[in-house]
Structure 1
Amino acid sequence: MAARLFRLRLALLGSEFRGSFVRGLRTTLLLLVAAAAAVALALVPEWLARNAAERAVIDVIVGCTVLCVVFLVPFFDNRQNLETKQFASYPASPSSIALSLLVTSWVSWPFLLLLVWLVSLGILRPEWSEPGWIAPCALGLAGILALCGVRVMSGLSKLIAGPRFAGALRTTGAVLLVAFLPLAVFAGATALGSNGGAAMEEAAQLLSWTPFGAPFAALNSAAAGDMSAALVYLGILGGTIVFLIAVWIPIAWVSNERIDRPGQRGIARNELGWFERFSARPAQVIAARQLTYWARDPRYRVALFAIPIAPIFMLVAFWIAGADLTALALVPLPVILLLLGWSQHNDVAMDSTAIWEHVSSGIRGRADRAGRLAPVLMLGIPLALVGSSITVTVLGDWRVLPAVIGLNIAVLLVGSGVSSLFSVMMPYPATRPGDSPFVQPQWAGSGSGASQTLSMLLALVLVAPAAWFSVMAIINVELVENIWALFFGIGYGALILVLGTLIGGWIFDRSGPELVAVTQVFD
Structure 2
Amino acid sequence: MVATLIRLKRDLTFNGFNQSVWHILGTIFAGLYGLGIVGMIFSLQVMEGGAAVIDAEFVRTASVLMGSAIFLLWLIIPVFVSGADTAMNPRQFITYGIPRRGLILGLALTGLISIGAVLTVIWLIGQVLHWRWDAAAAATAVTTLPLLLITFSLVSQAVTTSISAWLSGRRSRDFLAILALGLMVLLYPIMIGLESAFSSLADAVPTVVDILALTPLGAGAALPADAAAGDWGMFMIRLAILAATAALAVVVIRAALVKITERPTVQSSSGSKSDQGLGLFARFPATPWGAVAARASTYWLKDSRYGGTLVLLPAFVVLAVVMYSQLDAPWVLLALGPVFGWMLGFAISADISYDHSAFALHITSGVSGTADRVGRLVGLLSFGLPITLLSALIPAVMFTGPATTAALVGASVGLLLSTAGFSCLVSARFTYPVPKPGDGPLSQPSGSTGRLMIVQLGMLVATVALMLPEVILVIVWLISGDSWLGWALGIAAVLKGLGLVWIGVTLGARVFERSQPELFQTVSQY
TM-score by length of 2: 0.49
